[in-house]
Chain A
Amino acid sequence: MSRAPTRHPGLNLGPSHQSADDAASVEVFGFWVFMMSDAVVFGLLFATYAVMVGRTAGGPGPSELYDLKSVFIETLALLTSSMTFGIGATMMKHGNRAGWLVFWLVASFALAALFLGFELHDFVDMVHKGGVPQRSGYLSAFWALVPLHGLHVTMACIWMGAILLQMAKYGLDDAVKTAVLRLGILWHFLDIVWIAIFTVVYVGGLA
């Protein structure tokens, strides 16, 4: 099947949204460059974690601190929210369904909040077991890596709230459309970082 060349990562709005699509081709590409630099930051924190993982200095280690069930729920929540966000973006592209876009964005927000709730619970649990950042090199590396991802998800949720307010005030204009596309890039990117986190940190620590 032949298709028009894509102009940027993520969902492309296409010719029926001409002005927004033109704006997105520049804005989303710029955002993509930023995401790739963010990937380098995460990659180096993974390298630090890999070096530090055995260095518990007599403190608690992965098998005492991690809860695979909780991580499993977090993984499902974040993965599902990636899918619901994508569906929302197609609702915006095809027929400008603002109501459905809001529905799917709010669903994605709720799933991300579920993720954050379980993650926060994990962190509190770790602190209660003595797994604080200053305890060992391993724990410093953990707290630098995993909560940074959580912070990204939190910021993405705040950004989504801002977009929803903008939409309530100005409607589904070009600025809102390109913002949704950029937030989508961040949303899907954070899910990719989470794949690395649950594999390296949690599965690696509990296998």
Chain B
Amino acid sequence: MSRSRIDLPPESDPAATHTSEAREERRNYYLGYVLALVLTLPVFAITGFHLLPTKEIYWVAGAAALVQMVVHFRYFLNIRFKGQTREDLHLILFTTLILGLMVGGTIWILFNLAGRM
């Protein structure tokens, strides 16, 4: 711990760990973690104990996964709808569009082909 004192740049305050900003940021990580657990644990429970019919598990797990991805982007990667200087969110949305076209297109065409065989 002693080297952290040596490395302190002159402008930073050693007690800054306890500012409200620091608390808020740490709370974001904890909150994201709890939300992710809430979205993960039931999915494993219904799958492990076969609590629902297969098709319903697919829907629940798929929906939970999409929401959990949004939670990770928001709380772990700090992506917001507003207030970014660069196009971080646009890049995600564009990548999602590309993925939708390529993944959706692949699955659509190949399942269609398989159906005709």
Which residues of A pack against B, CB within 8 Å? 3, 5-12, 14, 16-18, 25, 29, 32-33, 36, 39-40, 43-44, 46-48, 50-51, 68-69, 72, 75-76, 79-80, 82-83, 86-87, 90-91, 93-100, 171-173, 185, 188-189, 191-192, 195-196, 199, 203-204, 206-207
19 contacts between A and B (CB under 8 A): A7-B86, A10-B78, A16-B16, A25-B85, A39-B99, A40-B102, A44-B106, A48-B106, A50-B103, A68-B47, A79-B36, A96-B7, A97-B17, A98-B1, A98-B7, A99-B4, A189-B77, A191-B76, A206-B47
Q: How close is A9's CB to chain B, nearest CB, in angstroms?
A: 5
- CB distance B58 to A204 under 8 Å? yes
Chain B residues closer than 8 Å to A68, beta-carbon distance = 44, 47-48
Chain B residues closer than 8 Å to A46, beta-carbon distance = 103
Of the residues B7, B54, B57, B61, contact of A172 by C-beta under 8 Å: B7
* CB interface residues, B 1-21, toward A, < 8 Å: 1, 3-4, 6-9, 11-17, 19, 21
Q: How large is the interface on B (under 10, 10 to 19, 20 to 34, 35 or more residues)?
A: 35 or more
Chain A residues closer than 8 Å to B86, beta-carbon distance = 7-8, 25, 29
- CB distance A204 to B77 under 8 Å? no
Chain A residues closer than 8 Å to B33, beta-carbon distance = 79-80, 82-83
- CB distance A171 to B7 under 8 Å? yes
Which residues of B pack against A, CB within 8 Å? 1, 3-4, 6-9, 11-17, 19, 21-22, 25-26, 28-30, 32-33, 36-37, 40, 43-44, 47-48, 54, 57-58, 61-62, 64-65, 68-69, 72-73, 76-80, 83-86, 88, 91-92, 94-95, 98-99, 102-103, 106-107, 110-111
